[in-house]
């Protein structure tokens, strides 16, 4: 009976030591990177009351690529703006917005969308396209970011 207790206690100690070593090695208990960066003044704090989100619905599904094997891309996105009225303008001019985004997505090259740099470049292109639509329709809102909330290639 004593042998079973010693074996059980030994197994629990080994498991505890391995979990502790894993936490120590991975740094899971250290300060989060964002909090550390904020202390250093690297990350600029944004007042969430000043940002409004607009989800562009429905998602975009297109064929892209001009090589022998065309590919399919499905993108769902949200737009962040500094003005609440941006959503109303985008709703009012939804067909133009969807047309501009579809044309931009159709121009994409297959290999470029597989990297994070390619996706970030696409986000910047989308941001510029949406901002130009807003300017064309007399809205001075600034698009702070475009978020790809769903991105599937096949």
pTM of the shown model: 0.66
pLDDT at 126: 96
Concatenating the DSSP letter of every residue in 59-115 gives EEEEEE--SSS-EEEEEEEEEEES-THHHHHHHHTHHHHHHHHHHHHHT--TGGGGS
pLDDT at 30: 66
Domain boundaries defined on the chain: 2-40, 48-153
pLDDT at 35: 57
With CA atoms as reference, report the closest residue to 127 among 88, 81, 85, 72: 81
Concatenating the DSSP letter of every residue in 125-150 gives HHHHHHHHHHHHTT----EEEEEEEE
Biggest alpha carbon distance in the chain?
Answer: 83
The residues, ordered by sequence, that sit 6+ positions from 127 with a Cβ below 8 Å of its Cβ are 143, 145, 146
Q: What is the mean pLDDT of the chain?
A: 85
Whether CATH 3.40.50.620 fits 48-153? no
pLDDT at 119: 92
- Would you call the peptide bond into 58 cis, given omega within 30 degrees of 0 as the criterion? yes
pLDDT at 34: 59
pLDDT at 33: 57
Segments in the chain below pLDDT 50: none
pLDDT at 106: 86
pLDDT at 104: 93
pLDDT at 32: 60
């Amino acid at each position: 009976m004593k042998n079973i207790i010693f074996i059980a206690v030994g197994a629990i100690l080994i498991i505890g030591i391995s979990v502790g070593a894993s936490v120590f090695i991975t740094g899971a208990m250290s300060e989060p990177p964002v909090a550390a960066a904020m202390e250093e003044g690297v990350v600029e704090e944004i007042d969430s009351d000043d940002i409004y989100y607009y989800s562009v619905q429905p998602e975009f599904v297109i064929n892209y690529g001009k090589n022998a094997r065309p590919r399919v891309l499905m993108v769902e996105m949200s737009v962040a703006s500094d003005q609440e009225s941006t959503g109303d303008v985008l709703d009012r001019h939804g067909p133009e917005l969807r047309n501009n985004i579809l044309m931009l997505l159709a121009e994409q090259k297959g290999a470029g969308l597989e990297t994070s740099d390619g996706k970030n470049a696409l986000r910047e292109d989308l941001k510029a396209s949406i901002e130009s639509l807003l300017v064309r329709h007399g809205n001075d809102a600034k698009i702070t970011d475009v978020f790809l909330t769903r991105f599937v290639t096949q």
